Amino acid sequence: MESMGKGRLVILVALTGILIATGVWMILILNQTSEVEIGKHGWIALGLGTFFSIVIGCGLMALMFISSRNGHDEAADPFRKRPPSN
Q: Per residue of the chain (86 residues), what is the pLDDT tens digit?
A: 467 788 999 999 999 999 999 999 999 998 888 788 889 999 999 999 999 999 999 999 999 999 888 776 665 666 766 666 66
| pTM of the predicted model as reported, rounded to 2 decimal places | 0.51
Domain boundary assignment for the chain: 1-34, 41-75
37-64 burial, b if ≥16 CB within 10 A, otherwise e?
eeeeeeeeeeeeeeeeeeeeeeeeeeee
d(CA 2, CA 39): 52
